[in-house]
Amino acid sequence: MHDENPRTSVRTRRAGAALLAVGALTLGACGSDSGPIDILGDEGWRGGLADARNSASVVTEGSRSLALDWTRPLGAPTSTRPSIAPNGQITVTMTGDAGCALGSFQGETGRKRFCNSLGPSGVSSTAVADSASNLYAGDDGSMSSINQNGQLRWRTPVYGVPRTPQFLPDGNVLVVTQFGQINVLSNQTGTAVAPVLDLIPNPTPLDAPNTTLRPANDGLMACLGGGPDCAVAAAPAVDLASSTVYLVLWRAGAIAPQLVALSYTGGDSPGLTEAWSSPLLPSAVTSSPVVSPDGGRVYLTDVEGTVRAYSTEDGSEIWSYFVGDRAAGSVSVAADGTIVPAGGAGSHLRAIRDAGDRPEMLWERPDLVTQGSSAQAGGTTGYTVVGDGDGLALVTFDTATGETVDTDPLPGAEGYSPGVVVGSDGEVVVPTALGSLYSFR
């Protein structure tokens, strides 16, 4: 199923080899005491929301003069953002044909590298890439790692369907399922390196001898609305500096979910323990938590369209800001603290800043109705998808002023986009929910 472009430049081959060498060194150092290791890195969009903090931003200088480089049909719809590995490969999970659910494409040309099968529920999360361009993908009842050529490295059974995975400070893989089960796996072998943590306790055979395991996809549809049948609806966030994991948890029998912080201990005896849980949240949450650049805040967007800031010390709510009906996507937070909320039905592009005890409006653009989640890059540059007549367009904007600096139509695009992503070379990739990819450079 490979159709790799044989004309790949020598420069690209050498760069890829160098990146693989660096990645091997980084992964091999995961057991050292040299400090946090972000094997997602900070130079590209390697996870569902770019990095461990779920910032939906990159430090790469953002281009302000883009042109459409290539476009290609995926052959099936997609509901998640793609990821971009250090070697430039773009990986997308797709619904439809189970024989081609995990597709990986050359960044320079859009040509298919491979297309692997996943279970029907594996398409509900993004496959993330590490610094050696290995992929980590959730599936029905398992977590898998695939190398850049599409070959399986390892597969480990888990209880449920993994939300988009993350990496912990020592490089181990954090796998959280919709049932609230947490596994910590070796990125090299997939073996469990910490005891399994069930945030929703399972009945023991002595207490309930006739209890059977739930099907892997049970309650997954409830994740779309953040309902109580889905204990964890979205990907966790990790603050690598403090070794803290943040997630939204709907406990059994509760009337609302909570924001929960877990402390991770690495070393010879890795493990997770609950540090605190917030009071019950005002509404359901389907977005992932986002950690501020200084680690002092966690931002959530609930299904009513309100962005809320919580203290990372104890989970207390600091402020709230209403965006608009059904603006339930995660915010984008740049390194300078600029927050661009996700749009909802009929909501428009805007930016706010965390002013300590309150949100501060920076600017808003009522004329730009967003049709997907935004991304930010270095140089106060942002990207979003907006309606353009009967179609869609990519708008490049200044995150400091809100000014439009470039507009590029998406030929033939309809509906909406799961969200913009930015690669380590400054390329901007836009998926559409109906199943197309557009790459701008």
Q: How far apart are CA 373 and CA 369, in angstroms?
A: 11
| Cβ 125 vs Cβ 235: under 8 Å | yes
Q: How far apart are CA 24 and CA 156, in angstroms?
A: 22
**Which tokens is 56 given?**
């939906």
The sign one gets for the Cα dihedral 434, 48, 106, 146 is: negative
Count other Cβ atoms within 10 Å, centred on residue 173: 24
- pTM attached to this predicted model: 0.90
* Residues in CB range of 413: below 8 A, 6 or more apart: 391, 392, 432, 434, 436, 438
Which residue matches tokens 């507009």? 407
Structure-derived torsion over alpha carbons of residues 29, 427, 330, 221, reported in degrees to the nearest 10: -90
| Cβ 48 vs Cβ 81: under 8 Å | yes
- DSSP class of residue 331 equals P
Q: What is the DSSP string of 133-184?
A: --EEEEETTEEEEE-TTS-EEEEEE-SS-BPSPEE-TTSPEEEEBTTSEEEE
Residues of the chain with pLDDT under 70: 1-38, 40-43, 96-98, 205, 344-346
- At residue 202, the pLDDT reads 81
- Give the max Cα distance, the chain: 65
**Which tokens is 395 given?**
């708008």
- At residue 36, the pLDDT reads 55
Architecture of domain 10-204+232-440: 7 Propeller (2.130)
Count other Cβ atoms within 10 Å, centred on residue 98: 14
- What's 349-368 look like in SS3? EEEEEECCCCEEEEEEEEEE
Give me the residues paired with residue 429 across strands: 421, 439
| Cβ 190 vs Cβ 252: under 8 Å | no
Q: Give whole-number Cα distances, 144 to 17, 240, 247, 283, 304, in Å.
A: 23, 23, 22, 33, 34
- At residue 95, the pLDDT reads 87
Q: Give whole-number Cα distances, 292 to 240, 300, 332, 336, 385, in Å.
A: 12, 11, 10, 10, 24
| Cβ 150 vs Cβ 113: under 8 Å | yes
Q: Give whole-number Cα distances, 173 to 1, 30, 98, 186, in Å.
A: 28, 11, 25, 6
Give SS3 for 415.
coil
Strand-strand pairing, 173-176 and 181-185: antiparallel
Burial class of residue 105 in the structure, from the number of CB atoms within 10 Å of its CB (0-12 exposed, 13-18 middle, 19+ buried): buried
Strand-strand pairing, 375-378 and 57-61: parallel
- At residue 343, the pLDDT reads 76
- At residue 266, the pLDDT reads 86
- At residue 97, the pLDDT reads 61
Q: How far apart are CA 301 and CA 315, in angstroms?
A: 15
Distance between start and end Cα atoms, the chain:
27
Strand-strand pairing, 173-176 and 428-432: unpaired
| Cβ 308 vs Cβ 299: under 8 Å | yes
- At residue 345, the pLDDT reads 62
